[in-house]
Structure 1
Amino acid sequence: MLPSDLLMHRYSGETVIPKRLPLNSDNLAIATELITLFQAAKGGTRGELNRQLQELEGESTDYRIKRGLAHLLSSDAFSTFETVSPLDPPMLRQRVFALSAQTAPHPQATQTTLQTLADRLTEELGREVLPTQIQAGLYADLADNQILIEFDAPSPEALLHRYNLSQVQGVFYRASQVILNAHRNDPGEYKLLFRYLKLFGLMTYIEGDADHGFTLTIDGPTSLFKPNTHYGLKLAMMLPALLHVTKWSLAATLQLKDSYSGTVRSGRFTLESDNGLVSHYPPGKTYDSMLEAGFVERWAKAKTEWKLEREVDLIPIPGSVMIPDFRLVHPDGRVLLLEIVGYWRPEYLKKKFSQVRQAGRNDLILAISERLNLDNAGIKLDNTPATIVWFKDQLAPKAVLAAIET
């Protein structure tokens, strides 16, 4: 995605309209020129590539567009930069600085230090080390000295699509709330959307049902007690997943800070499913949060007949829906559901436990982080029908299995 300084938008009243590049000959030519430059830079340093990009920008008025496209091309999605050095740069610096401190200043001091260290490393490593290798590797791990070893070139059209998507994603960095209406969709699309919401850890309240559609109220990063940049990125990452859903509309409430005066103004942003944006996410791919992924790995090593399934059905509750993280299936036919409650705001926790009570399911295991202060959130577990399992940093399979047995 694009950093805030490369985002471009205009206002129509309070409505924010992100910059989009049409796929015309001029923009395709710019994209092609940048892609060609990156292809030619393979095997060179990031610093040299950046100097060429600055020359390409020149004095043109569209420098921010070129810089934004170049930023996307230099991301992990297309480019792989690595430190290329026969020796560990931090070790080399430590050894060189230590030797330099013991050497009296003289015209040949640098060469003497390099040769002394080369001789010592040759003896320690059992292979010849040259002073030139030390000099080349001394700062090889700095960003400008890293080497572009791989470049997976997109088509010019794909790059412009990614740019347009990134401009729209940037709007969500300053969202306080997003209301998403998804209606008359295939049930599988709902499940895919809900899995992405769980993957990115978005604080979402869901109302509705699969027959009539769902209204999702998603907290934005500026709604938190302390605005969270990481959370804003997660919210923005949800948009390419949403593009795989057929019919939807969203409205976002924004808190926008003026770069000159520092004042904050309210803004709005709306988007419909027929928006012309193109997703780069593969459709239908299963994702897990880090907490869930770690649990899956540990469950695979556990000695148990219980099978852990990631695909689960929606649990309808009055006016809403609950989506458990996992289903546990035993060969004898028993089936249990597992919901993991990690790190959330008090308001969201109240909604979550209210859903659990409304569901009234006694086949549900609720794994709750001990880091949550439920008392401060005003949450009592006395009337919760689910079986409770507590965990600290990681949810252990043995704790869940023990809950099953009891």
Structure 2
Amino acid sequence: MWRIKLACLLLIFVQVQRVVLGTHDVYIVVMEGDPVVSYRGGVDGFPATAVDLDEEMDVTSEAVTSYALHLRGHHDKLLDSHLVEGTYEKLYSYHHLINGFAVHMSSLQAEFLRKAPGVKHVERDMKVQKLTTHTPQFLGLPTGVWPTGGGLDRAGEDVVIGFVDSGIYPQHPSFAAHKTDRYGPVPRYKGKCEKDLVTQRSFCNGKIVGAQHFAKAAMAAGAFNPDVEFASPLDGDGHGSHTAAIAAGNNGIPVRMHGHEFGKASGMAPRARVAVYKVLYRLFGGYVADVVAAIDQAVQDGVDILNLSVGPNSPPTATRTTFLNPFDAALLSAVKAGVFVAQAAGNGGPFPKTLVSFSPWITTVAAGVDDRRYKNHLTLGNGKLISGLGVSHFNVISVQNELLKYNNLLCRASSSIISPNRLTNWF
């Protein structure tokens, strides 16, 4: 009986603690001490794990595994000794690129941890957003880079690109493995493949070599709706599939829409492998804590390139220096580990202070120039041709303009010049 009473008292105590502590949010806590990629020794019983740039780290080695477990245990010990059990939830331990963790807790608990020995920085989690056929020819790839890498049939061979985005649609022909030369075993890469929740089929096929999703922070924040979002690497809105196809999509994929041909599409490195790290979702975007976990995992898995069409909604508020935050610190460690990192500059501009890619150690990609000018024509009934720029190229002959078809104000105001019977729209 006394055990039941004690259990009830503990439960009541935890609930009271939650009420007193107030609303919970996700926080990222950065600890003192080096992560795996930059640890060069100094902790008794744990040999150095860092390697030179021309060396490859064995993430399965005893040294790496034991030091990673040491960091994770240190995170748990800090939480257990400073916070009441049941009043918080640890979501991730970061140990490969940064030394820290993500935890769902109250603002009072966050303030308490800020003053704890060994804690370097505590930052409330932020939301992130998505950043958004002829391009290979325009860039001169067929006569430039592709021949130096073995030609079109070998462009990107054995390179693994990690896409931290909204997932992948594996059935798309840009990611098919059966219509290309057979892919051999992927060197170095050790990532895992999740299965489709409905079909139980793997997302991987030889072209796609890794597929994982990260949503613990989104779930803790109450943003993830399982009735709308896919709790899997499946792409919910096409953004991730779009970026993956641009970078690594198969060559010679016909582009058809409503019976019209728009040429053939190709990725910039059509033989590269695709590794998917889903962190973005349809209704809300994503959260930094999930993004950092994905980046940390991708580098552990052995990607060669990280592609990030994702960024914060605004500059970080916890530091005056925009790139001194867990996200950009993780990217710095990724570069130190020999990974090439490319991030989109953002959706804003051309106004000042609209850039949301802050790391000086990565490649930030913004919109540039192109040679696309869709010139379309409007032919009137009297044979007069009006030319102008359209949003796309469209080969449709003699389609009546719906705006003028129903005798609206424009039609009545100019009936002596233009009538529905005399107008064709070639857009």
TM-score bucket (shorter structure): under 0.3
Higher relative contact order (CA 8 A, sep 6+): 2
Q: TM-score, normalised to structure 2's length?
A: 0.20
Higher helix proportion, which one? Answer: 1
TM-score (norm 1): 0.21
